[in-house]
Amino acid sequence: MARPLRIQYPDAVYHVTCRGNERQAIFKDDADRTRFLQRLTQTLNIYSVKFHTYVLMSNHFHLLVETPLGNLAEFMRKFNITYTSYFNRRHKRIGHLYQGRYKSILVDKNEYLSVLSRYIHLNPVRIKSMEKMPAKEKIRTLTRYHWSSLPGYLSRRKSVSFVDYRLVLSDYGGDTDSARKAYRKVLLEEMAAGAGIHDKVLGQSILGGTDFVASITERFLKGEKDRERSSLKKIKTYQAKDVIFEAIAKETDKTKDVIAKEKGPLRQIAMDLLYRLGGLKGEKIAIIFGVGYTSVSQERRRLREQLETDRKLGVLLKHLELKCNF
């Protein structure tokens, strides 16, 4: 598996996670959790890192941080060493506390900051033991979970000084009581829907809109080493989807939604280009068009049959292939 990309620059926002080695607990009790937050606060101050959201689970944690100085690696190295040293001393153990290096996802704060904050806050009710719990029980567990920044997002009285609530709450109108009510409403709606973000993360490293991904690729990922190519391929695949639909739209004046709904050659061409040039598998293409998996292969087969007799269709396909120059 390719190593996840590490991208650092000033004012970047990250979703950071660490899991216990062999999935073992990294918190034995509340004293550990308290010391974790104390050490975290100290390290935030040392490295001038802004802290927006967190959840501490038994064997892992989630942080949503912003790095005005572009120094995530230095911040996490210092913090993880500090907490590991404390934990090992207190519990008379040696060795690694965490399972490998920390994982970080670069976040498009203009489009996904609030989404990711809610995703992090929902972790306490996403565990297996909560799956069959009634909605009221899940809400009670979530709102009473102490080791999370959520209480401060639901009530101004429960806010803490080391969490900066303003950036996330700006999507709801600012650091106000009404914004907190709106945040709670959307959070509970997402809890009921079971919404996730895993399918939106690109190359294990980036969560963002098309323009954000294109900008990051241009600025930081040109000329990456071979060990990164698998991750880069996933990012380019994501971009390819929009390039293909844009090329068809410019040529035919038909939008992605129209192409997806209309049966016929254009939809078949789109499926074929997404498969051959975009690198998407049949299952992904089926989701885009709202059809069954087998329909994708059938539509592509029909296109090949039509190309044998329809010269104009062949010219259109070749023209679009040239437009989609990845």
pLDDT, tens only, 269-293 = 988 888 877 777 788 888 888 888 7
Higher pLDDT, 203 or 230: 203
Q: Are strands 12-19 and 103-107 parallel, antiparallel or unpaired?
A: antiparallel
Coil, helix or strand at residue 164: coil
Token pair, residue 168, equals 């996330």
CA distances from 227 to 6, 201, 233, 290 (A): 12, 19, 11, 35
Return d(Cα 53, Cα 62) in angstroms, integer: 8
Q: Domain boundaries in the chain?
A: 12-206, 228-323
Coil, helix or strand at residue 248: helix
Find, among 291, 124, 126, the residue nearest to 197 by Cα.
126
pLDDT above 90 coverage of the chain, percent: 47
Global confidence as pTM: 0.70
Return d(Cα 146, Cα 114) in angstroms, integer: 20
Contact predicate 28/91, CB 8 Å: yes
Residue 73 DSSP label: H
pLDDT at residue number 102: 92
CATH class, range 12-206: alpha beta
Return d(Cα 211, Cα 160) in angstroms, integer: 34
**Helix or strand run (H / E) with residue 17:** strand 12-19
Residue the block writes with tokens 């303003």: 166
Return d(Cα 150, Cα 163) in angstroms, integer: 10
pLDDT, tens only, 26-42 = 999 999 999 999 999 99
Phi and psi angles of residue 60, each rounded to the nearest 5 degrees, phi first: -165, 170
pLDDT above 70 coverage of the chain, percent: 90
Going by C-beta distance under 8 Å and a sequence separation of 6 or more, which residues neighbour residue 260?
Answer: 267, 270, 288, 289, 290
pLDDT, tens only, 138-186 = 999 999 999 999 999 999 999 999 999 999 999 999 999 999 999 999 9
Fill in the amino acid letter for 61. Answer: F
Comparing 18-27, 140-149, 243-252, the range with the smallest average pLDDT is 243-252
pLDDT at residue number 236: 55
Q: Could you tell me where the beta strands, DSSP code E, fall in the chain?
A: 12-19, 50-56, 60-67, 103-107, 206-207
Residue 55 DSSP label: E
Over 50: is that where the pLDDT of 106 sits?
Answer: yes
pLDDT at residue number 1: 44
Return d(Cα 106, Cα 104) in angstroms, integer: 7
CATH of 228-323, one of 3.40.50.300, 1.10.8.60, 1.10.3720.10, 1.10.1750.10: 1.10.1750.10
Phi and psi angles of residue 106, each rounded to the nearest 5 degrees, phi first: -75, 130
Q: Output the average pLDDT for the chain.
A: 87
Return d(Cα 256, Cα 288) in angstroms, integer: 10
Residue the block writes with tokens 């600025």: 219
Task: Summarize the confidence of residues 191-216 as an average pLDDT.
Answer: 80
Q: Could you tell me where the beta strands, DSSP code E, fall in 59-182?
A: 60-67, 103-107
Q: Are strands 12-19 and 60-67 parallel, antiparallel or unpaired?
A: antiparallel
Confidence of residue 227 (pLDDT cuts 50, 70, 90): very low
